Amino acid sequence: MTAQGQINETGFRVAIAVSRYNAWITDALLDGAQREHARLLPGAPTPAVFSAPGTFELPSIAGAAARSGGFDAVVALGCVIKGETSHDQHIAHAVANAIAAIGVDTGVPVAFGVLTVDTPQQAESRAGGEHGNKGAEAMSAAIETARSIVSIHRAAGSAI
């Protein structure tokens, strides 16, 4: 049996870092994340949204939010669509590794809501289409991870 940590909804703060590049997709991811936040934490403050010029800049913004001490979880939203070169792979790997490191280094969960797709159609189907909304999934993952961290601290008898 796993203990599910109780989060004080009225004080639970989430930051969302969202890329403006491919905004027709990232706006849909942001909408999904905000709706999922409202569904899961109806008493919590509205997430703070911070804009990034592109997906590559997301770790800088997510890291600043995580290190600020003002947020219990961070959600990073972006969209990298394959082009004619391998540029997309370099961006995707760098961002994924940096976002993972931020969560480990700060102890603040940072959810990876970055689409890495081959086509615009694949992006659309993951931003509210037939494959759901990965922004909503990232928000859910951030909240669930924060709850697990609360459980760990309580089980260990440490302050949160």
Residues involved in catalysis: 87
Buried-exposed string 134-155: b where 16+ CB fall within 10 A, e elsewhere: bbbbbbbbbbbbbbebbeeeee
DSSP 56: G
Q: Which helix (H) or strand (E) holds 61?
A: helix 58-67
The SS3 call for residue 48 is strand
Check if the beta carbon of residue 102 is closer than 8 Å to that of residue 59: yes
| Geometric angle at alpha carbon 135, from 131 and 140, rounded to 5° | 100
71 exposure class (CB count in 10 Å sphere: 0-12, 13-18, 19+): buried
